[in-house]
Chain A
Amino acid sequence: MSDKRVRFLASPYIIWSAGFIIIPLCLVIYYAFTDASGAFSFDNVADIISYVNIKALMLSMAFSFGATLICLIIAYPLALILSTVVSSNSSILSLLFILPMWMNSLLRTYAWQNILERKGVINGILSALSLPPLYIINKPQAILLGMVYDFLPFMILPVYNSVSRIDKDLINAAKDLGAGYKEIFLRVIWPLSLPGVISGITMVFVPSLTTFVISDILGGGKILLIGNVIEQLFTQDSDWNAGAGLSVVLMVFIVISMLITSKYDREDIR
């Protein structure tokens, strides 16, 4: 294709990214570095240093880290199993794990609220079995559960893709050269699946870090994550400048964590 044609075909995307990505981003940065009167100011960004905001950010980081780790621990063995079963069965199995993605995530989160409530489904079953009730609603565990449940498919898909793409002959070759199961995993399967793991981590970590819906619904508004702080600044306080300031800080944190992950990616895979 000629350069001209490429440029022509690319134009809708350029318009799209200018209109819906670059301009809004510039607006966020503009609001972040101005005060209510429109004058240049660092105060919004510096707001992060306040005790409440730092706590929310650290809490968000901890939750995202935990959710990502749990997702990886659940998804990796599953991906390994899926990649070894016969292909016709594996598509049905993977569909089962992908299916929840087709439902609205808000709906799924409300469903968990119902299940976990003090007089919810789980406690109904537990009391019917005369077992002690389980109170995790409005507690950190509930938020973590919600994050894992909502974002698990985003970990499974890339990990499964990378694991299933590993040539079976490579595993046979490792076996042939004397490797047992542990060595095959550590020296062949794990390093070759890292690109999938990295993108899985990205796809779980980032939405976990920015979510406010899950902590709102399953945390009962008692646990403030950085997403909730930003949301409140925009909706309740109508302080766009402060909200944008914290958003920019959050973005910087995400970029830094992605740089760290991709550095590991390059080192191990080359």
Chain B
Amino acid sequence: MQNKLIDLQHITKSYGSSTILDDLNLYIRENEFVTLLGPSGCGKTTTLRIIGGFETPDSGAVMFQGKDITSLPANKREVNTVFQKYALFPHMTIAENIAFGLKIKKKSQSYINDKIKYALKLVNMDGFGDRMPDSLSGGQQQRIAIARAIVNEPKVLLLDEPLGALDLKLRQDMQYELIRLKNELGITFVYVTHDQEEALTMSDTIVVMNQGYIQQIGTPTDIYNEPQNTFVADFIGDSNILSGIMIKDKLVEILGARFDCVDTGFGENNPVDVVIRPEDIDLTEPEKGTIEGIVTDVIFKGVHYEMCVMARGFEFVVHSTDCVPVDSRVGIHVDPFDIQIMHKAEYDDEKAVEIDE
């Protein structure tokens, strides 16, 4: 996992007057499952298309195994793409679709036949070779699109929101399927999505993007537990984001009350942003909590209850498997390691923007 397979250096891309990517730097290691995650318009798809060779950056370089491939056309790159809307050739059978890349590489017919058989088995589509694409369901077409890409044995598989058009159950099945495929093939996956759950489930590394900037790079647990700014905190999962003042190391003041935390190095009496995940808030007897509040709303979500608790003018979102009835007086307690302290946003770009999902 050490070698840099793809290295994007100072990539800038704009269309007309709107800048899509601004000085983007990102490297992707061998055999890594990297997810580019962000709201629409954040530049994630453009980044993928630059790696695939469908877009040329205005400036910057795309390095592949140490070689500059910035101006190499898509058909000469050792990467293959799975397109959002599958893009299967409608006038060819499934087998012909899968064979497309191999025929262009002038492989022997017996090699091609073996590969088709292998690929169909790999994506659990045995016996579909003679069907036409439009006779398959969306999920099946997606599998074929993946099969068509991987028979070419690419070093990197690029996936552009491949599960976006599938329904929830199928999407979850395909997530496990993709993880299995990645492990079996042992190649690098670069995956684009706006679905944070997808990203958390499948990725080795998540790259959170917004407005053409990378907001944070990290493992799913890093990204979830230690968001570096309010945008990441807000985009990944539900969160309570509050303004606070760092009194000193390991002590933060929120809504006039002092909470113990584990963060250090934010100076003394500095304004900070504080993130508390809804599931990390414990509701207690009123007098046992750090601050007191009133439950204003309870929604049953299946696995847990989502409760709104009004305390000192801030509405906390709380997730718990125990239901506390509306109008109850409760105490709010948060364990020190569940409080995440972040610097106040320095740039406007970093600030949380409206998330469209």
Segment at the interface with A among B99-107, B249-257, B326-334: B99-107
Could you mark each residue 89-127 of chain A with 1 if its beta carbon is under 8 Å from any beta carbon of chain B, else 0?
A: 000000000000000000000000000000000000000
Q: Are B91 and A172 in contact (CB under 8 A)?
A: no
> Is A269 located at the chain interface by the 8 A CB criterion?
yes
CB within 8 Å of A: which residues of B? 52-54, 73-76, 79-81, 83-85, 87-91, 100-101, 104-105, 132, 148-149, 152
Q: In the complex, A188 Cα to B52 Cα: how many Å?
A: 20
Q: Are A175 and B73 in contact (CB under 8 A)?
A: yes
Q: Are B80 and A176 in contact (CB under 8 A)?
A: yes
Checking A173, A175, A183 against B89 with a beta-carbon cut-off of 8 angstroms, the contacting residue is A173
Given contacts A172-B81, A173-B87, A178-B101, 19 further A-B contacts (CB under 8 A): A169-B83, A169-B87, A172-B54, A172-B87, A173-B148, A174-B89, A175-B73, A176-B52, A176-B74, A176-B80, A176-B149, A177-B80, A177-B100, A178-B76, A178-B105, A179-B100, A187-B100, A192-B90, A269-B91
Q: Are A170 and B75 in contact (CB under 8 A)?
A: no
Q: Are B74 and A172 in contact (CB under 8 A)?
A: yes
Chain B residues whose CB sits within 8 angstroms of the CB of A221 once the complex forms: none
Given contacts A169-B85, A183-B104, A187-B100, A176 and B91 within 8 Å (CB-CB): no
> Is A167 located at the chain interface by the 8 A CB criterion?
yes
Q: Are A170 and B89 in contact (CB under 8 A)?
A: yes
Checking A177, A188, A191, A269 against B101 with a beta-carbon cut-off of 8 angstroms, the contacting residue is A177
Query: Interface centre among B73, B79, B84, B91, by most A CB within 10 Å?
Result: B91
Which size class do A's interface residues fall under?
20 to 34
In whole Å, how far is A75's beta carbon from the nearest beta carbon of chain B?
21
In whole Å, how far is B169's beta carbon from the nearest beta carbon of chain A?
26
Q: Are A175 and B74 in contact (CB under 8 A)?
A: yes
Q: Are A178 and B104 in contact (CB under 8 A)?
A: yes
Chain A residues whose CB sits within 8 angstroms of the CB of B91 once the complex forms: 191-192, 268-270
Which residues of A in the span 172-207 have a Cβ within 8 Å of any Cβ on B? 172-180, 183, 187-188, 191-192
Q: Which residue of A lies closest to B74 (CB)?
A: A175
Q: Are B75 and A180 in contact (CB under 8 A)?
A: yes
Chain A residues whose CB sits within 8 angstroms of the CB of B76 once the complex forms: 178
Q: In the complex, A180 Cα to B73 Cα: how many Å?
A: 9
In whole Å, how far is A236's beta carbon from the nearest beta carbon of chain B?
50
In whole Å, how far is B88's beta carbon from the nearest beta carbon of chain A?
8
Q: Which 9 A-B pairs have the closest CB atoms?
A: A177-B101, A169-B87, A173-B87, A175-B74, A178-B104, A176-B81, A191-B91, A178-B75, A175-B75
Q: In the complex, A167 Cα to B83 Cα: how many Å?
A: 12
Q: Which residue of B lies closest to A174 (CB)?
A: B100
Given contacts A183-B104, A270-B91, A176 and B75 within 8 Å (CB-CB): yes
Q: Which residue of A lies closest to B81 (CB)?
A: A176
Q: In the complex, A175 Cα to B79 Cα: how many Å?
A: 11
Chain B residues whose CB sits within 8 angstroms of the CB of A268 once the complex forms: 91
Chain B residues whose CB sits within 8 angstroms of the CB of A178 once the complex forms: 75-76, 101, 104-105, 152
In whole Å, how far is A16's beta carbon from the nearest beta carbon of chain B?
35
Q: Which residue of B lies closest to A191 (CB)?
A: B91
